[in-house]
Amino acid sequence: MNEQVTSRPAGRPGGDRPMEVLHSSEVFDGEPGCIAQARALADRFLARLAAEWLAVFGEHTRSDLMLAVSELVTNADRYSQGPYLLELEGTAERVTVTVYDSSTALPMFYSPDPTRPGGHGMEIVVALCDRLTAERVPVGKRIRAEFELSS
């Protein structure tokens, strides 16, 4: 397990420096307990974002973010052959949850079907987040879920 927590240099909207972003990431090796550790990382990140950045989470936003982390990390744990990386980035306006894993197979997106046994993880993430992207990258694939926060 390798955890990094950093903040980028302060910037101003419309200025020449990038906007400030809180960042946290951790590499997981698929050992038992990794999914719980990923949720704990996300919980600490969201608490820090609320305390330091005064991020306001809507009535369900915090639980939606935690569920999305669980689903994305569970998929990486289940379908990749090797370590996976969870990255969290946030501002007072937005949180992005990104998972990189070694599999190049993009996730399947099924139509909602309550009679289907399994295959609901990405369906859940799509329903929870404001924007979802999945793409192949040199290390395998990257799945990114973006959440707009209340102001």
Nearest one of 14, 60, 11, 64 to 42, comparing CA atoms:
64
Residue 28 has pLDDT above 50, yes or no: yes
Instruction: Determine the Cα angle at 1 with ends 129 and 132, to 5°.
Output: 15
Helices (H) and strands (E) in the chain, counts: 3, 6
Q: At what angle do helices 34-53 and 61-79 cross, to 10 degrees?
A: 150
For the stretch 60-106, pLDDT in tens is 899 999 999 999 999 999 988 779 999 999 999 999 999 999 999 99
CA-CA distances (angstroms) from residue 64 to 5, 71, 72? 22, 11, 12
What would the two tokens of residue 9 be?
């240099």
pTM: 0.84
